[in-house]
Amino acid sequence: MKRTFTLSMAWLHSWAGLFFAWLLFGILFTGAIAVFHAEVTYWVTPEMRGQVHDDRDKAIEVGRAYLEEHAPDARLWRLTLPSEREPVVKVYWRDEKGNGTTRRLQPDTGETIQRETRGGGFFIDYHYMINLSRKDIALGPVGLWIVGMAGIVMLVACISGIVVHKRIFRDLFLFRPGASRHRSWLDAHNVLSVLPLPFHIIIVYTGLVTLYWLYVPAGINSLYAGSEDAFRREAISQHYVSLLDAPPPGPPAPMMSLPAINRQAEAQFGAGKTAYLTMRDPNRANAMVEAFRTRADRVTQQVEQIAYRGIDGRQIRIVEHSTATKIQSFVAAIHFVEWGGAVIRWAYFLVGLAAAAMVATGLVVFTAKRETKRGAPPWLRLVQAVNVASVAGLCIACAVFFWAERLTPADLPARAGVPVKFFFLSWLACLAHAALRPPHCAWREQFALAAFLCFAAPMLGGQGWLHLISWDTTRLFFDLTFWIFGAVFAFLFFKVKGTPTRSVHRHELVA
Amino acid sequence: MMLQLFSLYMTYTGLSSFALAMDKHHVQAFGERVGPGRTRWLRLSGSILLLMALGLWVWSLDVAMGLVSWLLWVLPIMGLIVAAGLAFVPRFTATVACRRP
């Protein structure tokens, strides 16, 4: 414990902040991108066309025909209908061993889209589990634990930050770019933290609530003998059956027409409101078809779902969720923003970027404060290198991901993993570069590279001008956002050039 | 849409009035300290503008969505614009908010 409460909080804020900021910048930055996950997928798939497809019966038939042909023995089918944001039919199936496969089809012709991609899904996976899937690690959901811990530390940093910052209201708008290096970055850090503070706190809190049961496994271990399914049946829905526990499939029996079942469901949801259909044990006597309502116009994650018997389409039940689940799913939906349309998504994107910028400026403040006239502690060099890599390096890695998506041939086998490999390799390269170069040069050079990557990304594969000709507004906005990011990185490149100001100069003179 | 844009603008003017009511920002924008009477006037008009902006925003959406989205997104985004504006183009920021010396 330090001498006073404020000093203790300052210590906590800077040290907990430092170590977790390296993680948090990436989590917040990819989270801001993940708000537009459907648009990312759309941008990286030139085969997807922008027209809204209204013939939903045709789309369902197209999807079913594909599944009948390619996955007749699967235990589970999922057929996602085309929507405004993702105008394709998505089919997904899981075999006996639980391995899933996804394919995308053109809704009108039924043509398969060859290009495999994780698209926006990669940014979601990085955001909530640093891309460490539960399947990859025997120990458990390690990625989720790491991100959860970072989230809790961000809450701690928000609150200790309020204690440390004594002039919250007086310095609400105060930003002095011309002041000393430490002062001006501290101003930026304060402005970016205090004005959006309600958002920062709520986005972290709602993020933690989405996966609440994972952070303290002792609860499920002691009350449900470690069975997550038993917990889910009690907490979420009494009808929950995981695929592994499901009884064996019955004898073959033809399933009813799916468009007819979907019309029944849409009579209750509203026209065009079905998001996807799932089929358990399709074309078997015990087949069950479930229709799920869209999330686009409701603030909830647990959508309404209706189950039908596969062979004759009789309604089995409307799935009821417990009150606790309804509240949790409302809180989680505040985090997921599948509702509210483009305006809300842009708002989340911008304030999410402000949160990422808050973390980045915090890192710069940490080092600027310790670079005094008398020189800097020797370990600061290490901190500076990791700072550069975790901020500028991550921006480069994201841009490289988009480059790899554009440049990898569409028909490459196992294509979806390629851009991800490029993401992590380029990030590693940035860390090596930051370790070898002096900090100012590392910042400058990485920002220059990030600016170049962003400026060029829309033009790769001869795409850029096509978007202008076809007036594809979603892709055009995407291109424009790339250029704005390029301009911001270029601005930072020139800004860092001017900053070896007094304090650093003096330190260099002494050294 | 028009109502929401107008509400955004009023949030901006309201927040910049609050900022200009502080000595530091008044000096930034107009090169002179703010007097006590002017501080009071700026704060009063700023609060009225913010209340009207909130009212308009809530009215043009609905109560739940309106309150939450104004507090979580409109206020911080406009605040960051005001802070950046006062730092880089202080006089222009005040002019856009219809504030003269």
Residue A131 region by backbone torsions, left for phi larger than 0, else alpha for psi between -120 and 50, else beta: left
Query: Residue for token digits 């801001």?
Result: A32
The size of the A-B interface in CB pairs under 8 A is: 64
Residues A465 and A391 both lie in one domain: yes
Tell me which amino acid residue A166 is: K
Residues A363 and A439 both lie in one domain: no
Residue B40: inside a domain, yes or no?
yes
Cβ-defined contact of B76 to A198 (cutoff 8 Å): yes
Residue A192: inside a domain, yes or no?
yes
**Cβ–Cβ contact A198 with B under 8 A:** yes
Number of domains composing chain B: 1
Residue A7 DSSP SS3: helix
Residue B39: inside a domain, yes or no?
yes
Residue A51: inside a domain, yes or no?
no
Are A442 and A388 contacting, i.e. CB atoms less than 8 angstroms apart? yes
Residue A399: inside a domain, yes or no?
yes
Residues A10 and A121 both lie in one domain: yes
Residue B83: inside a domain, yes or no?
yes
Residues A87 and A200 both lie in one domain: no
Least CB–CB distance from B87: residue in A177, A197, A202: A177
Residues A382 and A270 both lie in one domain: no
Residues A243 and A355 both lie in one domain: no
Range of the domain at B69: 2-96
Phi, psi torsion values for B89, nearest 5 degrees: -130, 70
Residue A331: inside a domain, yes or no?
no
Residues A465 and A486 both lie in one domain: yes
pLDDT of residue A274: 94
pLDDT of residue B64: 77
Number of domains composing chain A: 3
Chain B residues whose C-beta sits inside 8 Å of any chain A C-beta: 15, 18-19, 22, 24-25, 65, 69, 71-77, 79-80, 82-84, 86-88
Residues A347 and A435 both lie in one domain: no
pLDDT of residue A237: 75
Instruction: Kindly identify which residue of chain A lies nearest to residue B83, measuring between CA atoms.
Output: A173
Instruction: Kindly identify which residue of chain A lies nearest to residue B78, measuring between CA atoms.
Output: A195
Distance CA A288, CA A278 (A): 8
Residues of chain A with Cβ-Cβ distance to B65 below 8 Å are: 340
Least CB–CB distance from B22: residue in A170, A191, A198: A170
Cβ-defined contact of B72 to A350 (cutoff 8 Å): no
Least CB–CB distance from A198: residue in B24, B72, B83: B72
Residues A303 and A429 both lie in one domain: no
Full 3-state SS string of A259-306? HHHHHHHHHHHCCCCEEEEEEECCCECCCEEEEEECCCCCCCCCCCEE
Cβ-defined contact of A172 to B79 (cutoff 8 Å): yes
Q: What ipTM was reported for this prediction? A: 0.91
Residue A233: inside a domain, yes or no?
no
Distance CA A258, CA A277 (A): 9
Distance CA A154, CA A13 (A): 9
Residue B58: inside a domain, yes or no?
yes
Residues A155 and A86 both lie in one domain: no
**Cβ–Cβ contact A179 with B under 8 A:** no
Stated as kind and residue range, the H or E segment containing A112 is strand A112-113
Q: Is the pTM of this model over 0.90?
A: yes
Give the neighbor-by-neighbor strand order of the sheet with A305-309: A112-113, A100-105, A89-94, A76-80, A274-280, A288-293, A305-309, A315-318
Cβ-defined contact of B83 to A175 (cutoff 8 Å): yes
Are A181 and A504 contacting, i.e. CB atoms less than 8 angstroms apart? yes
Instruction: Kindly identify which residue of chain B lies nearest to residue A357, measuring between CA atoms.
Output: B80
pLDDT of residue A200: 96
Residue A210: inside a domain, yes or no?
yes
Residues A33 and A90 both lie in one domain: no
Residue A307 region by backbone torsions, left for phi larger than 0, else alpha for psi between -120 and 50, else beta: beta
Instruction: Kindly identify which residue of chain A lies nearest to residue B74, measuring between CA atoms.
Output: A347
Residue B34: inside a domain, yes or no?
yes
Residues A33 and A61 both lie in one domain: no
Residue A160: inside a domain, yes or no?
yes
Residue B101: inside a domain, yes or no?
no
pLDDT digits (tens, 9 = 90+) for B43-86: 999 999 999 999 999 998 878 788 888 999 999 999 999 999 99
Residues of chain A with Cβ-Cβ distance to B87 below 8 Å are: 175-177
Residue B23: inside a domain, yes or no?
yes
Nearest Cα to Cα of residue A117 among A313, A466, A442, A405: A405
Residue B11: inside a domain, yes or no?
yes
Task: Output the tens digit of pLDDT for each of chain A's 511 residues.
Answer: 568 999 999 999 999 999 999 999 999 999 999 999 999 999 999 888 877 778 899 999 999 999 999 999 899 999 999 998 999 999 999 987 778 899 999 998 889 999 999 999 999 999 999 998 877 777 778 999 999 999 999 999 999 999 999 888 888 899 988 888 889 999 999 999 999 999 999 999 999 999 888 888 888 889 988 888 888 888 877 777 776 677 788 899 999 999 999 999 999 999 889 999 999 999 999 999 999 999 988 888 888 899 999 999 999 988 888 888 889 999 999 999 988 888 889 999 999 999 999 999 999 999 998 887 777 888 999 999 999 999 999 999 999 999 999 999 999 988 999 999 999 999 999 999 999 999 999 999 999 999 999 999 998 877 777 788 888 889 999 999 999 999 999 999 998 864 444 444 444 433 3
Range of the domain at A427: 373-511
Q: Residue A225, Cβ neighbours under 10 Å: how many?
A: 9
Instruction: Kindly identify which residue of chain B lies nearest to residue A177, measuring between CA atoms.
Output: B87
